Structure 1
Amino acid sequence: MLMPLPATLYRLLTEYETLLAEETAASTTPGSQRLHDVAYTLCVSTGTREISDALDTARAYLARAGATPLSDRRVITSPPKPPASAVTSSPAAGNLPHGLVSLASTAHRADER
């Protein structure tokens, strides 16, 4: 079964618990639409039909994945740049990083055989 990213599951679980705590503190009987929506999304995301099963499954999955709150994670905004020595300027490579060849040059070589 496909599972969502741990960060997504963590966000859903946190949002559900926050909304539930707010409703419990306010002593409101009918559940808010947002709480219902998050509960539904948790059930779909975990492949369950009951919110209690979804919460158990989500917590177990996050424990296995070693998920931590997003604030504890290092965020990578872009891939690291390759060192200047990794880029070649040979005509065959077409200024691609070392070891990569364009599809056009590969097709051309196949025609020559």
Structure 2
Amino acid sequence: MLMAHPAVLDNLVEEYATLVALHAEEGGPEVRARMDELARTLCTATGTADIDTALVAARHRLPGARPEDDSLLAA
């Protein structure tokens, strides 16, 4: 399986987390479409089938991640 570069994963996770924090899923169709696109990209990049699993998998591939830590990495 191809692996996304950690910098790419970091950007995807950060953008998705920002949109979730802003409750963008309640926004217009363009914003919801972007969230769907980010979710699909993260799932593809991590080889997972749902966004929650993709976020955990992506975070574990980021520099400084610990195997037991599935929380967001400190900025």
Bigger fraction of residues in helix: 2
Q: Paired residues, what number? A: 65
- Please report the TM-score for the alignment, with normalisation by the length of structure 2: 0.72
Inter-partner Cα distance in structure 1 for 2:54 and 2:4: 13
Could you tell me how far apart the structure 2 residues matched to 1:38 and 1:5 are? 15
Q: Give the corresponding residue for 1:51.
A: 51
2:21 aligns with 21
Q: Within 2, Cα distance between the matches of 1:48 and 1:36?
A: 15
Q: Secondary structure at the match of 2:22?
A: helix
* Structure 2: runs of 5+ lacking an equivalent: 67-73
Deviation track 1:41-66 (CA, whole Å, cap 9, x = no partner) reads 000000000111101100111126xx
Distance 2:35 2:23 in 1: 9
The 10-residue stretch of structure 1 (29-38 or 50-59) with the greater mean CA deviation from structure 2: 29-38
Unaligned runs of 5+ in 1: 70-113
Q: Percent identity?
A: 44
| Structure having the higher Rg | 1
Higher relative contact order (CA 8 A, sep 6+): 2
Q: 1:61 to 1:48 in 2, by over 3 A?
A: same
Match runs of 1:81-100 below 5 Å: none
C-alpha separation between the residues in 2 aligned to 1:7 and 1:29?
27
Coordinate RMSD, CA, aligned:
2.6
